[in-house]
Structure 1
Amino acid sequence: MKKITTFFSAMLLIISLSACSSDFDGSRTGNDTQLIMEYTEFNTTDTQDLVVEAGDIIHAEIVVEDGHLSYKIQKDDEEPIAESEGIFFSVEYDFDVEESGTYTVTVTGENAKGSVKFVVESAE
C-alpha cells in the first residue's frame, strides 16, 4: 500500500510541475522615457512610469504573434489617454500628450508572444 501511495504522490508531483508555465520569458528595458519588451511568453501584467511633457508624443509599436495583449496609458487616477483590450494583431500608434506629468503604461499579456515598445518622443 505504501508503494502505491508513493507512486501516486510522485505522479501527482510530476504532473503538477509539468503544468507550470512561466509568466514571462523575454527581455525588458524600461526607464522614464521608454518601455521595450520582447517575449516568447507573456502571461502577466507589467507597468512602467514615463515622464512626459505637454506636447510630447508617446509612440507605441505592438507586435502580437500569438495570444492577446491589452494596454493602458494613464496619468494618476485620471481617465486613460489610451486603452485597448484583447489585441491579437500588430498595431502602431502615436498618442499626443496635452498635460505634463508621469504617465503609467500598463501592459497585460494572455498567452502572448511578440513585443511592445512605448517611447516618449519630445515635441522639441
Structure 2
Amino acid sequence: MKKVIDIFSVLFLITSLTACSPDFNGSRTGNNNQLIMEYTAFNTTDTQDFVVEAGDIIHVEIVIEDGLLSYKIQKDDDEPVAESESIFYSSEFDVEAEESGTYTVTVTGEKAKGSIKFVVESAK
C-alpha cells in the first residue's frame, strides 16, 4: 500500500510541476530605439529605455492571440504619453514625442500570447 501512495505522490508532484506556466517563453530584442518581443507565454513585466528626440515617433504594434497586455510609455517621472491596461485586442498606432529625453516602455502580460513591437522612428 505504501508503494501505491508513493507512486501517486510522485505522479502528483510531476503533474503539479509541469502545470506551472513560465513567466516568459519567447524571444526579446531591445536597445535604445526598439523593443520587439514574440512570446507563447508572457506573465511578467518588462521594460526598455528609448533615447528619443523631440518630433520622433514611437511606432507601436501589438498582437494579442490570448490573455491580456498592459503597456505604458513614459518620459522620466512625467505623466505617461500613452497607456492602456488589460487590453485583449490587437492594435497599431504611433506616439509622437513632444520632448527629447529618455522614454521608458513598460509592458505587462497576464497569460498573454502574441507579440509586441515598439520602434523609434526618427523625425529627421
Tell me, yes or no, whether TM beats 0.5: yes
Tell me the SS of whatever aligns to 1:108. Answer: strand
Tell me the CA shift for residue 6 of structure 1.
3.3
TM-superposition CA deviations, 1:34-69 (whole Å, max 9, x none)? 000111111111110011011111110101111111
Alpha-carbon distance in structure 2 between the residues aligned to 1:5 and 1:90: 48
Question: Unaligned stretches of 5+ in structure 1?
Answer: none
Please report the TM-score for the alignment, with normalisation by the length of structure 2.
0.91
Equivalent residue letter for 1:15: T
Q: Counterpart in 1 of 2:24?
A: 24
After the TM superposition, which parts of structure 1 deviate over 4 Å for at least 4 consecutive aligned residues?
A: none
Aligned-residue offset at 1:87: 1.2
**1:5-52 Cα deviation digits (max 9, x unpaired):** 634542442232122111111111100000001111111111100110
Q: Secondary structure at the match of 2:99?
A: coil
Q: Note the 1:1-124 alignment, pairs <5 A.
A: 3=3, 6-124=6-124
Q: Kindly state the Cα deviation for residue 72 of structure 1 after the two structures are TM-superposed.
A: 0.3
Instruction: Give 1:3 shift.
Output: 3.8
Distance 2:40 2:12 in 1: 28
Structure 2 residue identity aligned to 1:26: G
- Unaligned 5+ segments in structure 2 are none
Q: How many angstroms apart in 1 are the aligned matches of 2:15 and 2:38?
A: 29
1:111 aligns to what SS in structure 2? strand
Instruction: Give, as a single letter, the amino acid of the residue that structure 2 aligns with 1:98.
Output: E
Identity of aligned residues (%): 76
**Displacement after TM superposition at 1:4 (Å):** 5.8
CA distance in 2 between counterparts of 1:95 and 1:49 reads 15
